[in-house]
Amino acid sequence: MQYSAKAVAGRGEAKSFKRRLWLEGWKRLRKQRTAMIGLAVVLFFILIGLLAPLLTSHPFDGFNPEKTLIPPNADHWFGTDDQGRDIFSRILYGARISLWIGFFSVIGSIIVGCLLGLVAGFYGKWADSIISRFFDVMLAFPSILLAIAIVAILGPSLFNALIAIAIINIPTYGRLIRSRVLSVKEEEYIMSAKAIGMSNSRILFLHILPNSITPIIVQGTLGIATAILEAAALGFLGLGAQPGEPEWGKMLADSRQFLTVAPWTLLFPGFAIMVTVIGFNMFGDGLRDALDPKMK
């Protein structure tokens, strides 16, 4: 019973220590003005995406041949496109699509990449060799070309674009978690866990993964920005969002022929992409500095 009490106390102290580290990281993050601006931008786009039905007075798919290419005015704040659809409404609903693709593609990449990286780093030998070569093959292709190939096989659609973006980013998280596992598994507390007979799965998910997750969180935040850009690129090429869907990349593709006569049809979707990506990058950079122990 004495040993069990010490073990429980040790786990309690470890949890308390991790909690203090996260609190200290949050305090450091709050002191960084650029990170807070980035977080504000991210929350702003999440909010307008969620509240789009309440913030718009025109349907995003409402065709009106009598109101084509109207410049911004009091009724249509961002003007209308070549089919008379309100651009402001399409921008707000497009935030839902871009953030949905960004968040869920990164979550998928992290889950698969972390599982493969944990196995490669912990078990080593043939498992590490096979998984690492798989990562090397995927990284040998330009990411956007690999995404295009995957969507071409699966068929053009938003969901297939999400799958393609998730697949091409798996090696990024897999290699990152593998490098962390190779370092963490040599720590004394991991050796102690093995010595008392703890199973490999418990060691991986209770000790190694929690102590390797910080760089994954940072990379995931930055990866959302990359995923949004990749989704916009696929939409621009006609491989992501299909006609009628208010995706920012698709809006750019549909409006490029009106650059000289109706520049607002390209300006606002492009600006939305730019600001969203900058927001995630600013927040990700600040998060990296805040969670880096060397910055303490």
For the segment 8-45, what is each residue's pLDDT rounded down to a tens digit? 444 555 556 566 666 776 777 788 888 899 999 999 99
For the entire predicted model, the pTM comes to 0.86
> pLDDT digit string (tens) for 49-91?
999 999 988 888 878 888 889 999 999 999 999 889 999 999 9
User: Distance between CA 277 and CA 227 in Å, rounded?
Assistant: 9
- pLDDT of the residue at 294: 53
Instruction: Please give the pLDDT value at position 267.
Output: 93
Question: Where does residue 127 rank: exposed (0-12), middle (13-18), buried (19+ CB within 10 A)?
Answer: middle
Nearest-angstrom CA–CA distance, 208 and 192? 13
**Superfamily (CATH) of domain 30-57+84-295:** MetI-like (1.10.3720.10)
pLDDT tens-digit series, residues 196-251:
888 888 888 888 888 888 889 889 999 999 999 999 999 999 898 888 889 999 99
Residue 291 has pLDDT above 80, yes or no: no
Query: Taking all residues of the chain, what is their mean pLDDT, rounded to a whole number?
Result: 86
Q: How confident is the model at residue 283 (pLDDT cuts 50, 70, 90)?
A: very high
Going by pLDDT thresholds of 50, 70 and 90, the confidence category of residue 1 is: very low
The burial class, CB within 10 Å (0-12 / 13-18 / 19+), for 157 is middle
Count the Cβ atoms, other than its own, within 10 Å of residue 173.
24
Tell me which amino acid residue 200 is. N
Least confident of 44-53, 191-200, 280-289: 191-200
Residue 171 or residue 64, greater confidence: 171
